[in-house]
Structure 1
Amino acid sequence: MKAVTGESSELKSSKLKPGVNRGLSIFDFILRLAAIVGALGSAIAMGTTTQTLPFATQFIQFRAEYNDLPMFTFFVVACAIVSGYLVLSLPLSIFHILRSRARATRVVLVFLDAGMMALLTSGASAAAAIVYLAHKGNGKTNWLAICQQFNSFCERTSGSLIGSFVAIVLLMIMIFLSGAALSRRR
């Protein structure tokens, strides 16, 4: 009698695993879509950031653009690469919904997600350092805070960073979800 009870509990747990993994895969797909919005929105917001200060003469103008600073250019490129990767990873995410027992492709996604998270984190960190200097300046090195003059420029770059950090957190959650789905199988 105990052997039958033990077998039936094993059958129940094996039937639950694909359903839970399918749910994790659906959640992973939704997170990928949200991360695409965050990363692509950040790239677009930063890539279109520019501001010109009006002065009395039209011959002397001060202009701030994202590509004036290499860190912002790196940030835009990193966000674009991560966005492209996330779009290309959507078919694999759909494959995991259909075949919740797929193991090898999920391992590949974990490694690629981790690499993309590292790339996006490095780009966002470099841009965050410059945005901090733009807001606060650095008196010891005579770097003046420019956000009093270039207010719109600073607001857009700060907003762009928020979107990228949201995408980083979503990538982190996706890695944990894939790890959880992998650990549920034997």
Structure 2
Amino acid sequence: MSYAYGITNSGLVIGAGIDPSNAAVNVGLIYDTVSGSMTSLGALPGLNGAIAFGVSDSGYVVGASMFNQGSGLPFIWSASGGMTAIPLPDGTTAGSARDVNDSGWAVGVASNAYAIPFLYADGTTYSIDTLLTNGAGWDLVTNTSSSALGIANDGSIIGTAIHDGAVHAYKMTLVTAVPEPGTWALLASGLGLLALRRRRPTQH
């Protein structure tokens, strides 16, 4: 393993190495610090490499799969299901998943001409801007700086966005009693946006 990007409470380390037979290929890896075993995550169909960026204590791993270190596509991996592609938001062509919680909800960034932060939950991908209703002064979709980089088990999301023309950090907090897509009501504050929604967000 050449790069480590995350670790669980049980000592699973995720990251990437370089294929010793082909220096153009990234190899997504999980290293078990207890047993000393190393697991290769593989790649999405038609691609040959991967980088793991996030891991949950429940064993989900997320990252990007690519061909010869080119543009990536986001994935989620589990020991039981292997590597699965995370659908991109509409209008985007590449991306990476950066973090995942114990429920398998993942966040990341997709791209076209701009950076588009996304949430993946229960098989559906949402552009994060569609979860917000009153983020006045904030821009998450027409710049190259926006991101979603972390998600907690309570559904809180952190990242960056543009506010009044400058880059700022944000925190979005799920304010429904039970965090389920379809009952999303998000509050992004201080670092971020103020927003409430009590209906299913626009699906992408």
Q: TM-score range by the shorter chain?
A: under 0.3
Q: Which has the higher contact order (CA 8 A, sep 6+)?
A: 1
Query: Considering only CA atoms, is the larger Rg found in Structure 1 or Structure 2?
Result: 1
